[in-house]
């Protein structure tokens, strides 16, 4: 992480968060505002669900193929360059979507917008994580999650209003004013960061990862239309397997791999990533199919459907900041597991809706799903990003976005596949006793139920995965580990030493060149000589002082906990 990418004052970190939140908001809005308008777009262009699905899938497909690469590029070339470049591309492509004259043209522009989305999402969480100390990381990511929730909650409502009152084209034109402001603001408040001289992009690894993910996602998306046993789908799965094996072989031999596979040995990273994947599979099965239920199964207008969807993201907006702050105090494991379980219950509740379910009954179901997502999201991101070394923040940030996008693609593809396969079965059964229009309506609803059952099962697997990350060791176990590792006295000595080093850096006046150089390399290993003093002061403020305080607090806490125990032993 270069010094220019990290805020240097207490107030600046919140300014940085605001710049990232704008990008997070507009990129999230760009996805949620489209889903609610898919039926009118399909009608306008005269195409079916399988064709119009590509407007969503193409956007997710290209993003899902590039997130890891852009995360690594952020580690190398600086997060600001990747972030601002992606923001500008996203804005321009999104605006041009509004003047598309065909489904093919609209899909191509969504591909370009997906590239911009990948650049924003791959490095945004890394910038936030680097700007805040560990004690505030959950809170900061929770506040950033508010931007996601606002984008998700505003998208369906705004999309419904614009489509109902004007045209679906206006859902893309909204990118321009917000995007222009966001790009200008990011250019102003994010300090420039240069290339890290010691870092190089692993081009073979990037190509193998991108092509492998593209093969997998394309096979999953087109499997229902081409046939899961068709030559094309089997060839894509085979290509994914071969590219995946090649990727692992190449990365294990690289000194600077595109993706450090050793990160998966960190349980919080691997289990947290899996949990994030499955919750987004379940969530996007629901968010992709429910607009069709509301508009075709219940005959709601686009605006009414958008308003009914709002409680899902509104509840996430309210809960996420509190969940993030709470995770800073009690950890992430319980909150992640509870969030997944609540989301699964919310999805299960949707399996009982029918053509006559009232609006309030739908609202509490959507709100339950949003509540679970809010409980889950901030602790999950904090757990993943907090578990990796600082130089790999971009890679971890890209992985978070990768799991989210992959879950979305799998969710849309699985929902579409289940819907396409189950509707004919239900129509055949219902046509014996119902008129054709009613049979088709109920067949759609029952097929959505089938997809939602699958979503519940996926989230249930996520709950199990979250539980296996392991519990904290009992007190005696922790004390034994401490005796075999670092003693309380050694912890105290280390804390005092680090505090002294930080103070010497502050007061240094050219008389401690070795200390200045060593400290500066904690921030930037290849920093220029003229900047070493500034880098050293940054290291003192952001690394040495927080670490010394943490060690000293741990020492005092252990002494306070040990006192009552000793008193109990004396009484016994």
So what's the pLDDT on residue 176?
A: 86
Which is more confidently placed, 466 or 357? 357
* pLDDT one-digit tens code per residue, 363-382: 888 889 888 888 887 787 77
pLDDT digits (tens, 9 = 90+) for 286-332: 888 888 888 888 878 777 777 787 788 778 778 877 787 777 777 77
CA 448 to CA 462: how far, in whole Å?
21
Burial class (CB in 10 A: 0-12, 13-18, 19+), 437: exposed
pLDDT, tens digit (0-9, with 9 covering 90-100), for 446-479: 888 899 999 999 888 888 877 776 544 334 433 4
Closest CA to 67 of 123, 120, 122: 122
Integer angstrom CA distances of residue 551 from 100, 387, 487, 489, 493: 58, 18, 11, 11, 9
Pick from 166, 168, 224, 218: which is nearest to 45 by CA? 168
pLDDT grade, residue 494 (50/70/90)?
Answer: low
Per-residue pLDDT, averaged over 410-416, amounts to 81
**Cβ partners under 8 Å of residue 282, min gap 6:** 343, 344, 347, 411, 455, 456, 458, 459, 462
When pLDDT is cut at 50, 70 and 90, the band that residue 19 belongs to is confident
Q: Please say if the pLDDT value at position 37 is more than 50.
A: yes
Distances, alpha carbon 172 to alpha carbons 31, 33, 149, 157, in Å: 10, 9, 19, 14
Contact 72, 206 (CB under 8 A): yes
Long-range contacts of 13-18 (CB under 8 A, 24+ apart): 13/131, 13/132, 13/140, 15/189, 16/127, 16/128, 16/131, 16/189, 16/190, 17/128, 17/131, 17/132, 17/140, 17/143, 17/144, 18/185, 18/189
Helix axes 134-165, 545-571, angle to 10 degrees: 120
| Structural tokens at position 23 | 């990008």
């Amino acid at each position: 992480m270069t010094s220019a990418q990290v805020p240097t004052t207490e107030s600046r970190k919140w300014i940085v968060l605001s710049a990232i939140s704008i990008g997070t908001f507009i990129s999230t809005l760009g996805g949620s505002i489209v889903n609610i308008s898919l039926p009118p777009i399909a009608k306008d262009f005269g195409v079916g669900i399988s064709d119009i699905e590509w407007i969503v899938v193409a956007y997710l497909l290209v993003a899902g193929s590039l997130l890891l690469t852009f995360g690594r590029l952020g580690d190398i070339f600086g997060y600001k360059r990747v972030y601002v470049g992606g923001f500008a591309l996203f804005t321009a492509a999104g605006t041009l979507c509004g003047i598309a004259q065909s489904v093919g043209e609209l899909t191509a522009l969504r591909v370009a917008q997906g590239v911009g989305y990948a650049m924003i999402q791959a490095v945004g969480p890394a910038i936030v994580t680097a700007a805040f100390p560990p004690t505030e990381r959950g809170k900061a990511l929770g506040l950033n999650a508010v931007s996601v929730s606002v984008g998700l909650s505003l998208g369906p409502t705004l999309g419904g209003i614009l489509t109902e009152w004007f045209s679906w084209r206006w859902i893309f034109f909204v990118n321009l004013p917000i995007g222009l402001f966001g790009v200008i603001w990011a250019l102003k408040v994010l300090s420039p960061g240069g290339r890290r001289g010691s870092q190089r992009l692993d081009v073979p690894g990037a190509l193998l990862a991108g092509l492998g993910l593209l093969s997998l996602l394309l096979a999953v998306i087109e499997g229902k239309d081409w046939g899961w046993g068709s030559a094309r789908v089997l060839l894509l799965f085979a290509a994914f397997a071969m590219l995946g094996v090649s990727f692992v072989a190449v990365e294990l031999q690289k000194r600077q791999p595109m993706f450090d596979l050793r990160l998966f040995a960190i349980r919080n990273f691997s289990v947290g990533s899996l949990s994030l994947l499955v919750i987004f599979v379940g969530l996007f099965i629901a968010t992709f199919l429910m607009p069709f239920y509301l508009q075709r199964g219940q005959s709601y207008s686009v605006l009414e459907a958008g308003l009914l969807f709002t409680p899902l993201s509104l509840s996430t907006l309210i809960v996420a900041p509190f969940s993030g702050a709470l995770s800073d105090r009690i950890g992430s494991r319980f909150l992640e597991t509870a969030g997944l379980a609540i989301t699964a219950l919310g999805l299960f509740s949707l399996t009982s809706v029918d053509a006559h379910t009232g609006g309030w009954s739908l609202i509490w179901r959507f709100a339950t799903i949003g509540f679970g997502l809010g409980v889950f999201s901030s602790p999950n991101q904090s757990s993943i990003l907090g578990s990796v070394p600082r130089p790999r923040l971009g890679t971890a940030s890209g992985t978070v976005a990768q799991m989210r996008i992959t879950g979305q693609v799998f969710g849309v593809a699985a929902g579409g596949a289940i819907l396409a396969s189950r509707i004919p079965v239900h129509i055949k059964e219902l046509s014996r006793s119902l008129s054709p229009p009613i049979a088709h309506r109920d067949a759609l609803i029952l097929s959505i139920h089938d997809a939602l059952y699958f979503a519940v099962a996926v989230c249930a697997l996520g709950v199990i995965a979250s539980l296996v990350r392991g519990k904290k060791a009992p007190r005696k176990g922790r004390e034994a580990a401490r005796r075999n590792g670092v003693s309380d006295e050694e912890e105290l000595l280390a804390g005092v030493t680090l505090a002294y080093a930080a103070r010497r850096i502050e007061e240094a006046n050219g008389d401690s060149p070795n200390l200045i150089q060593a400290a500066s390399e904690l921030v930037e290993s290849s920093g220029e000589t003229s900047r070493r003093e500034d880098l050293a002061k940054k290291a003192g403020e952001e690394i040495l002082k927080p670490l010394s305080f943490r060690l000293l607090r741990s020492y005092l806490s252990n002494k306070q906990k040990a006192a009552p125990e000793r008193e109990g032993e004396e009484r016994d």
